[in-house]
């Protein structure tokens, strides 16, 4: 159960006050239309066919019998599909060629899309897709990730591959206490509830796409480049999105739908089946992480090394930058962080909620706990003793760093002071009890955005921005920010989002969405108020002001800008059955000004539950064939309602000094450190360090513990 | 023109939210697809299409069921209630109102299924059904109290990847409390 | 999913006749497993004979004090039935531990017994699987098998039966009744499932085309004090990695009668008869319970990654039996 709001607001207005979602009524009545819900006349349905081999070449596709099946309109494959462009740089860099379907006969991983069957009904398309016979020449594959791979290489992702300073060997040798451990995290999948779905059609020379994505202008730009179209000839809409978590960018469903709609000249919808999502929707790479810490007798770090290895596909490089978290969190005389990748015959991984920070904080914060044990220090004291003055790698000042306040408030509310540090000594019936803590951080940024704000003749306002509400409450947050900026009330502000026609805007990603869009909306609203102050009256079409935050963001001073948090967990472990229950969690965050306490708390708690799920449940199993085992929601376990007992999130006052509203972003910080807090609590309960996630019952049983 | 449909199709009548819909369906068509593709009742969502997520939950003859594993042809003649049929005109069903007030969702995609499920959970509990969270299932032990633990277990067939579980449990507790006229359970300050 | 015919059966004999006439036909109950398998391509029937509305939906007490459960009784109705809860509480607990409220409302007793394994290789038609495609090989033995069988498996198949309900039913000596083209028949649940051997695709001893009409539970006073406990990889809505149904009658500190069955360890719900024999007449204490579990698990043949199931089942059995013994003592 959550507790009362304690977020402090510094000025009166809509921002900072709990507000139910503006689209809430539509969501609880079923009226909200998601991408696959919108009816189209003459709609055809596409069903993807994925490779059943792990690596090889397509020798032949027997399309004839399938084309004779009832209702089948076409079969798209590498032999007949239109050629597309992949040699370009989009909003987030070069595209993953996985999305550029049917361009060649190579199969680089299991579940690679080899064909799209289009038919009049979904049932016909599915049956025909299952009947399609594809012949392959198979080739040997390599899908095994391990820490000793000689072909692992340092790689830049959205940060440099390697940072280093000082003499690591010397500082480790001079340390009173050393921790040198390897941690492993498994392949994890976003598994948002709404599968990827897109309907493509041509309307008077303009490509229309009704989609579920995390940024309409992002996908618009990618499709325009891929199909060599002018951006104005592509419109992407995405009004309601059933979750994204990093996976909903440009993927095969949109591209294949566009191809089929172009060939057939009628609307075509492609929806990924749940099983297909496990191969086509991206995932968080498994990681192998080595952490070496050296500290003085009093716990001050002398040496810190964090090395992370993740897998990527042979067609695209994605770096899960788990070692990056140490660049923000802790300083040491010798400090080395490195992100490595190894290309394997596996699907391309991608961004997934707190990429880098989620697995990286698990390893680093678990290692800190191990160091605290060795030093005989309280884990919070150890962290507070190692609070850096400036960015450990950059040397830049922090815009604000309120981690200590989070720990103090969290420790007080969690009852940390009464904790007996000894592991394996608390029992309640069959359960061993323990508590753990961990620190969290996540970058606070903003992306350039444009917004349109209109004063209507009836005294109301209309906001248009190509924002995406993937469940964050962005639509509501924008409404509140606009109301304050316009000095009106939220009920007089209508917000339209999810349409690329509204102009370029940042994506719902990197915890940057609300901040990026609020900035643009606020800027347009401020200018509109100035215009209205002139008192010239409002014409029938209203007065519209357009803003663009590109210049304002470019002029921001270089600083370390992050949210911080302190995670606490209490677990119960039955070492005779391996069961673990997270009895309670508390997260206290310093995450900027909270726009809407109702939805922000929900997001933070949701992130913490992702941490429970990551610590105890989630694991996609890829066997020696390179294919997935049990690739569905019965085989891939995400936390259920019964797995979640008391989870509370709250915050300390932490307005961002350089953001017009004070926002930092709350989408990802909730998961950071959460798995480590749980793992540390499992150690406290049992005396056993679990360094491989998830902590499944079999692993608990095999590890034993204080029974 | 009107020849008898092939044996792979059947003429049926789906009764949805009190309205009768005569349809000829492909036997392969699930109730979920019939609702969405044929009747334009898209409030019921397809999350996994395998009975593993609960997003497609509807009420069939008053009981919750996953419509993705229910063939439409086999639902002929049964009373189906979807999320679109819960409100009384403009007045939301108490479960809908509680989800709205307490933010029992994020992206909203699992929400219709959660709400249909919750409506049924409250009825199942009122009928005295035990659950896996019930300590003593013997009838002599009496009906279990609808504690948060009971709600969590009973709602576990509805995955929410946004993980709005805490507020979902609050919403179900509040709606259940309203049904029995008692005080709503669970903390509600979040809706202040 | 290929196209198929659909018939709603009016009576049991009519249903059986429909299946006799079409070898590629399947009975459709709640559909919670069959429809899923049709979607994944594991099952491709030509005809579905819908038996859900047959008049087999009642739970009745038998004159001798047992229960007769109709085949189309839903899992929910079975679990909620006062006589089940009173006389066989572990059966209610087992049913409630399975699936979700939605699925239990749909799933029937007959269908539950006939559900197929959730082995991920069985449900993935792109992978070899002897149960799905005889002779194609077993992918699990060399592949992922941390939740596969440790008892009664063979070199041909190591899949486990997923039922929770069946574990309790087998502990209570349930008898399956059926109707076939040759007339009615019955099979004790202990003989209902065939040994795996080299024919893992042949799962039950039911005659071809037979329709399960019900399950009879003989009177079992010991079952009034019974429990089901299930361990899984999350707190709810997941298949077991190990489960125990147990009943215990302790008199003067000595086990007078015990029932014990294991779930998620074999191709069928596993009646732990060796353990029951060891328990009978033994002191009702943890040491005897552990010895009894060990007697059963001596036959375990774990694979490289499912060895944990042996201590898991031992610990679970001891824990549940201990709880029951403590209940008696109270």
- In order of start, what are the domains of chain B with their CATH numbers? 9-85 (3.10.20.30), 94-191 (1.10.150.120)
Does the predicted interface ipTM exceed a cut of 0.95? yes
Separation in Å, CA A174 to CA A168, A304, A333, A498, B179: 10, 13, 11, 56, 68
Residue whose C-alpha is closest to residue C38's, from C74, C3, C75: C3
Name chain A contacts of B148, Cβ cutoff 8 Å: 1
Please tell me the predicted confidence (pLDDT) of residue C85.
98
Q: Edge to edge, what strands does the sheet with C270-271 contain?
A: C226-232, C240-251, C254-263, C270-271
- pLDDT beyond 50 at A3: no
In a domain, A338, yes or no: no
C151 belongs to a structural domain: no
- Token readout for A684 is 């406290």
Same domain, A565 and A587: yes
Phi, psi of B25 (to 5 degrees): -120, 145
Share of chain A above pLDDT 90, in %: 97
Sheet holding A113-119, edge to edge: A72-77, A113-119, A44-50, A268-271, A197-203, A206-211, A234-237
What mean pLDDT comes out for the span A284-306? Answer: 98
Query: What is the spatial distance between Cα C213 and Cα C176, in angstroms, rounded to a whole number?
Result: 8
The H or E element spanning position B118 is helix B111-126
Rounded Cα distance, A112 and A421, in Å: 50
Q: Which structural domain, as residue segments, surrounds residue A539?
A: 447-554
Over the stretch A9-42, which tens digit does the pLDDT of each residue have? 444 799 999 999 999 999 999 999 999 999 999 9
**Stretch A386-403: mean pLDDT:** 98
Residues A532 and A547 grouped into a single domain: yes
Pick B157's closest partner by Cβ from C3, C39, C103: C103
Distance between CA atoms of residues C185 and C206, nearest Å:
9
- Which tokens hold the place of B101? 């007030």
Rounded alpha-carbon distances, angstroms, from residue A550 to A337, A446, A538: 32, 10, 29
CB atoms within 10 A of CB A155: 21
Q: Say what the pLDDT of residue B1 is.
A: 40
- The first and second tokens of residue C266, run together, are 């074999």
Binned at pLDDT 50, 70 and 90, residue A705 comes out as: low
> In B, which residues are within 8 Å of C8 by CB distance?
74
User: C127 vs chain A: nearest CA distance in angstroms?
Assistant: 8
Burial class (CB in 10 A: 0-12, 13-18, 19+), A486: buried
Whether A627 and A510 share a structural domain: no
The confidence score (pLDDT) of residue B180 equals 77
Distance from CA of B137 to the nearest CA of C (A): 6
What's the pLDDT score for residue C330? 75
Domain-embedded: residue A102 = no
**pLDDT the model gives residue A8:** 40
How far does A273 lie from chain B, in Å, by closest CA? 7
Enclosing domain of residue C258:
221-329
Please report whether residue C84 resides in a domain. Answer: no
| Region A512-537 average pLDDT | 96
Same domain, A423 and A452: no
Give the residue-averaged pLDDT of C248-259.
Answer: 97
pLDDT digits (tens, 9 = 90+) for C72-89: 999 999 999 999 999 999
Q: List CB contacts of A372: < 8 A, sequence separation 6 or more.
A: A299, A378, A379, A381, A382
Number of neighbours of residue A553 by Cβ within 10 angstroms: 18
B187 pLDDT band (50/70/90 cuts)?
Answer: very low
Give C177's pLDDT tier (boundaries 50, 70, 90): very high
User: Within a domain: residue C205?
Assistant: no
Number of domains in chain A: 2
Per-residue confidence band for B184, with pLDDT thresholds at 50, 70 and 90 = very low
Read off the tokens for A238.
Answer: 């995405």
Per the CB < 8 A criterion, the answer to whether A650 and A663 are in contact is: no
- Name the closest residue on chain C to residue B150, using Cα atoms: C236
β-strand C67-70 against A72-77: which pairing, if any?
Answer: unpaired
Q: Do C82 and B139 touch (CB under 8 A)?
A: yes
Q: Judge whether B110 and A193 are in contact, CB under 8 Å.
A: yes
* Model confidence pTM above 0.90: yes
Q: Give the SS3 label for residue A153.
A: strand
Q: Are A308 and A241 in contact (CB under 8 A)?
A: no
* Nearest C-alpha neighbor of C128 from the set A560, A48, A625: A625
Chain A residues within 8 A of C303 when measuring between CB atoms: none
Average pLDDT, chain A: 96
Residues A565 and A698 in one domain: yes
Orientation angle between helical segments B165-180 and B94-102, nearest 10 degrees: 140
pLDDT at A69: 97
pLDDT one-digit tens code per residue, C300-318:
999 999 999 999 999 999 9
Residues A569 and A494 both lie in one domain: no
State whether residue C311 sits within 8 Å of chain A by CB: yes
Asked if the model's pLDDT at residue C96 lies above 90, the reply is: yes
- The neighbours of chain B, by the rule of 3 or more Cβ pairs under 8 Å, are A, C
Contact indicator for C79, C95 with CB cutoff of 8 Å: yes
Residue C83 lies in a domain: no
**pLDDT, average across residues A334-359:** 98
C-alpha–C-alpha distance, residues A324 and A308, integer Å: 9
* Same-domain pairing of A480 and A412: no
Q: Are residues A435 and A574 in the same domain?
A: yes
Q: Is residue A692 part of a domain?
A: yes
Q: Which residue has the tokens 């008192």?
A: A535
Residue B182 has pLDDT above 70, yes or no: no
Residue A484 sits in a domain whose CATH number is 3.30.365.10
Is the residue at A671 inside a domain?
yes
Average pLDDT, chain B: 92
| Contact between C46 and C26 (Cβ < 8 Å) | no
% of residues, chain C, pLDDT over 90: 98
Note whether residue A491 is domain-resident.
yes
Place C328 in a pLDDT band, splitting at 50, 70 and 90.
confident
What pLDDT does A7 receive?
40
Q: Is C2 on the interface with A (CB under 8 A)?
A: yes
Give the mean pLDDT of B117-144. Answer: 97
Return d(Cα C210, Cα C204) in angstroms, integer. Answer: 11
Distance of CA A36 to the CA centre of its chain: 22
Q: Angle at the Cα of C107 (from C70 to C239), degrees rounded to 5?
A: 125
Alpha carbon distance B161, B55 (integer Å): 11
**Residue of C120, C121, C312 with shortest CB distance to A701:** C312
SS3 A506: coil
Q: Is B138 exposed, middle or buried (0-12, 13-18, 19+ CB in 10 A)?
A: middle
Q: Say if C130 falls within a structural domain.
A: no
Q: Which residues of B touch A245 (CB under 8 A)?
A: 161
DSSP B38: I
- For residues A434 and A566, membership in a common domain is answered with yes
User: Which of residues A554, A569, A589 is at a domain's end?
Assistant: A554
DSSP state of A359: H
Q: Is A668 a catalytic residue?
A: yes
CB A612 within 8 A of CB A551: no
Which residue from A319, A256, A241, A298 is spatially nearest to A103, judged by alpha carbons?
A256
> Quick check: helix, strand or coil at residue A385?
helix
Torsion of CA B83, B84, B89, B92, to 10 degrees: 30
| Residue A461 backbone phi and psi in degrees, to 5 | -130, 150
User: Is residue C327 predicted with pLDDT exceeding 70?
Assistant: yes
Beta bridge partners of A572: A433, A581
B91-100: b (≥16 Cβ within 10 Å) or e:
ebbbbbbbbb
What is the number of CB-based contacts under 8 A between chain A and chain B?
201
A421/A607 Cα distance (integer angstroms)? 27
Domain of residue C261, CATH code: 3.30.390.50
Across the strands, what pairs with A546? A452
Q: What is the tens place of the pLDDT at every residue in A198-217? A: 999 999 999 999 999 999 99
A704 touches C at CB < 8 Å: no
Distance between first and last Cα of chain A: 31
In a domain, A88, yes or no: no
Instruction: Give chain B's end-to-end CA distance (angstroms, integer).
Output: 62
Average pLDDT over residues A590-615: 98
Contact flag C103-B74 (C-beta cutoff 8 Å):
no
Does residue A576 sit in the same domain as residue A666? Answer: yes
CA distance B64 to B81: 9
Per CB-CB distance under 8 Å, the chain A contacts of B52 are: 274, 632-634
How many other β-carbons are positioned within 10 Å of the β-carbon of residue A121? 18
DSSP class per residue in C129-160: BTTTSTTS-BHHHHS--TTS-SSS--SS----
Q: Is residue A303 in a domain?
A: no
Contact B28 C3 (CB under 8 A): yes
Residue B179: pLDDT band with limits 50, 70, 90: confident
Q: Is A623 on the interface with C (CB under 8 A)?
A: yes
DSSP line for C197-255:
TT-TT--B-PPTT-EEEEEEE---GGGGSEEEEEEESSSSSS-EEEEEEEEEEEETTEE
Query: What pLDDT is recorded for position C134?
Result: 98
Task: Report the alpha-carbon angle C80-C84-C87, nearest 5.
Answer: 145
Let me know whether A404 and A483 are in one domain.
no
Q: Does residue A694 have a cis bond before it (omega within 30 degrees)?
A: yes
Going by C-alpha positions, the residue among C192, C8, C43, C181 that lies closest to residue C116 is C43
Cα(A320)–Cα(A287) distance, integer angstroms = 8
**Planar angle of CA B100, B101, B104, nearest 5 degrees:** 55
A576 plus A651 within the same structural domain: yes
Averaged pLDDT, A411-424: 97
Q: Could you give the 3-state DSSP secondary structure of residue A22?
A: coil
CA distance A330 to A340: 20
Count how many domains chain C has: 1
Does residue A675 lie in a domain region?
Answer: yes
pLDDT at A487 over 70: yes
Pairing of strands A106-107, A133-138: unpaired
Q: Does C264 map to a domain?
A: yes
Q: How many CA atoms lie within 13 A of A288 on its CB side?
A: 12
């Amino acid at each position: 159960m959550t507790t009362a709001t304690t977020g402090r607001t510094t000025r009166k207005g809509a921002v900072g006050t709990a507000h139910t979602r503006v689209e809430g009524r539509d969501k609880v009545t079923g009226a909200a239309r998601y991408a696959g819900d919108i009816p189209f006349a003459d709609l055809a349905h596409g069903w993807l066919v994925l490779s059943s081999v792990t690596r090889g070449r397509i020798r032949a596709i027997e399309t004839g019998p399938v084309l004779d099946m009832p209702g089948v309109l076409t079969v798209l494959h590498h032999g007949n599909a239109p050629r597309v462009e992949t040699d370009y740089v989009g909003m987030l860099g070069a595209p993953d060629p996985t999305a550029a379907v049917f361009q060649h006969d190579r199969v680089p991983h299991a579940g690679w899309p080899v064909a799209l069957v289009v038919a009049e009904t979904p049932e016909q398309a599915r049956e025909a897709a299952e009947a399609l016979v594809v012949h392959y020449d198979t080739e040997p594959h390599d899908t095994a990730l391990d820490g000793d791979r000689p072909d692992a290489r340092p790689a830049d992702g959205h940060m440099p591959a390697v940072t280093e300073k000082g003499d690591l060997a010397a500082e480790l040798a001079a340390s009173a206490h050393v921790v040198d451990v390897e941690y492993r995290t498994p392949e994890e999948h976003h598994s948002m509830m709404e599968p990827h779905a897109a309907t493509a059609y041509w309307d008077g020379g303009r490509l229309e796409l009704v989609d579920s994505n995390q940024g309409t202008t992002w996908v618009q730009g990618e499709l325009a480049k891929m199909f060599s179209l002018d951006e104005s000839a592509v419109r992407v809409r995405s009004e309601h999105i059933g979750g994204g978590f990093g996976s909903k960018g440009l993927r095969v469903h949109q591209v294949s739908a566009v191809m089929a709609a172009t060939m057939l000249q009628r609307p075509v919808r492609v929806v990924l089946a749940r099983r297909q999502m496990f191969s086509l929707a991206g995932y968080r790479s498994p990681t192998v992480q080595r952490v070496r810490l050296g500290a003085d007798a009093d716990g001050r770090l002398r040496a810190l090394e964090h090395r992370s290895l993740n897998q990527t596909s042979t067609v695209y490089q994605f770096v899960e930058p788990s070692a990056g978290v140490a660049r923000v969190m802790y300083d040491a005389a010798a400090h080395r962080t490195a992100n490595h990748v190894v290309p394997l015959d596996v699907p391309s991984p991608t961004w997934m909620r707190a990429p880098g920070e989620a697995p990286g904080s698990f390893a680093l914060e678990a290692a800190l706990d191990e160091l605290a044990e060795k030093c005989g220090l309280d884990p919070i004291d150890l962290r507070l003793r190692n609070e850096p003055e400036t960015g450990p790698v950059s040397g830049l000042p922090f815009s604000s760093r309120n981690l200590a306040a989070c720990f103090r408030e969290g420790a007080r509310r969690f009852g940390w002071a009464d904790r007996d540090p000894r592991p394996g000594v608390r029992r309640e019936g069959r359960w061993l009890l323990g508590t753990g803590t961990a620190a969290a951080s996540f970058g606070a940024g903003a992306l350039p955005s444009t917004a349109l704000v209109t004063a209507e003749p009836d005294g109301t306002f209309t906001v248009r921005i190509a924002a995406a509400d993937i469940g964050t409450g962005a639509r509501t947050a924008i409404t509140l920010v606009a109301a304050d900026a316009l000095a009106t009330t939220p009920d007089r502000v209508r917000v339209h989002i999810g349409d690329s026609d509204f102009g370029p805007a940042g994506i719902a990603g990197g915890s940057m969405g609300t901040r990026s869009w609020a900035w643009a909306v606020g800027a347009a609203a401020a200018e509109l108020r100035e215009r209205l102050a002139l008192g010239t009256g409002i014409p029938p079409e209203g007065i519209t002001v357009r803003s663009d935050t590109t210049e304002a963001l470019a002029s921001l001073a270089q600083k370390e800008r992050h949210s911080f948090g302190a995670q606490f967990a209490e677990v119960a472990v039955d070492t005779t059955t391996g069961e673990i229950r997270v009895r309670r969690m508390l997260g206290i965050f310093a995450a900027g000004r909270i726009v809407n306490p109702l939805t922000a708390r929900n997001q933070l708690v949701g992130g913490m539950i992702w941490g429970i799920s990551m610590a105890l449940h989630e694991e996609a199993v890829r066997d020696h064939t390179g294919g997935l085992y049990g690739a569905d929601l019965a085989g891939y376990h995400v936390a259920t309602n019964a797995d979640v007992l008391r989870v509370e999130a709250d915050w300390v006052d932490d307005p961002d000094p350089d953001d017009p509203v004070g926002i930092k972003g709350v989408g990802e910080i909730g998961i950071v450190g959460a798995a480590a807090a749980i793992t540390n609590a499992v150690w406290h309960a049992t005396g056993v360090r679990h360094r491989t996630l998830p902590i499944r019952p079999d692993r608990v049983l095999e590890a034993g513990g204080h029974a | 023109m009107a020849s008898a449909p092939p044996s792979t199709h059947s003429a049926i009548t789906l009764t949805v939210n009190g309205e009768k819909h005569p349809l000829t369906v492909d036997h392969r068509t699930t109730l979920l697809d019939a609702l969405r593709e044929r009747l334009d009742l898209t409030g019921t969502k397809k999350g996994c299409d395998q009975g593993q997520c609960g997003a497609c939950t509807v009420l069939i003859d008053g009981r919750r069921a996953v419509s993705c594993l229910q063939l439409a042809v086999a639902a002929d003649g049964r009373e189906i209630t979807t999320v679109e049929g819960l409100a009384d005109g403009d007045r939301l069903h108490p479960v809908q109102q509680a989800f709205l007030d307490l933010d029992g969702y994020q992206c909203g995609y699992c929400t219709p299924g959660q709400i249909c499920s919750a409506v049924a959970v409250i009825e199942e509990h009122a009928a005295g059904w035990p659950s896996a969270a019930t300590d003593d299932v013997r009838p002599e032990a009496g009906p279990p109290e609808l504690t948060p633990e009971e709600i969590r277990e009973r709602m576990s067939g509805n995955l929410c990847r946004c993980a709005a579980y805490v507020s979902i449990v609050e919403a179900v507790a509040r709606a259940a409390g309203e049904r029995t006229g008692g005080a709503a359970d669970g903390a509600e300050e979040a809706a202040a | 999913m290929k196209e198929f015919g659909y018939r709603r059966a009016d009576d049991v004999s009519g249903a059986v006749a429909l299946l006799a006439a079409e070898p590629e036909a399947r009975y459709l109950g709640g559909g919670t497993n069959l429809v899923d398998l049709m979607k994944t391509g594991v099952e491709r029937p030509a005809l579905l004979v819908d038996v859900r509305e047959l008049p087999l939906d009642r739970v009745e007490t038998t004159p001798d004090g047992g229960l007769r459960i109709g085949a189309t009784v839903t899992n929910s109705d079975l679990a909620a039935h006062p006589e089940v809860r009173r006389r066989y509480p572990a059966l209610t607990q087992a049913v409630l531990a399975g699936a979700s409220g939605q699925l239990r409302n749909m799933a029937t007793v007959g269908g539950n017994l006939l559900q197929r394994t959730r082995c991920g290789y069985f449900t993935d038609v792109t992978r070899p699987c002897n149960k799905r495609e005889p002779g194609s090989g077993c992918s699990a033995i060399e592949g992922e098998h941390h939740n596969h069988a440790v008892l009664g498996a063979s070199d041909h198949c190591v899949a486990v039966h997923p039922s929770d309900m069946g574990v309790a039913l087998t502990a209570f000596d349930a008898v399956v009744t059926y109707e076939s083209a040759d007339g009615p028949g019955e099979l004790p649940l202990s003989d209902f499932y065939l040994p795996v051997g080299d024919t893992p695709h042949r799962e039950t001893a039911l005659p071809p085309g037979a329709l399960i009409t019900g399950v009879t539970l003989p009177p079992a006073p010991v079952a009034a004090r019974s429990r089901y406990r299930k361990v899984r990889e999350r707190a709810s809505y997941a298949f077991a990695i190990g489960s125990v149904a147990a009943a215990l009658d302790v008199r003067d500190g000595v086990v007078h009668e015990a029932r014990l069955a294991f779930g998620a360890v074999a191709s069928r719900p596993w009646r732990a008869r060796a353990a029951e024999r060891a328990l009978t007449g033994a002191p009702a204490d943890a040491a005897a319970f552990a010895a009894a579990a060990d007697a059963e698990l001596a036959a375990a043949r774990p694979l490289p990654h499912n060895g944990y199931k042996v201590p898991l089942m031992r610990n679970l059995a001891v824990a549940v039996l201990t709880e029951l013994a403590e209940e008696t003592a109270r």
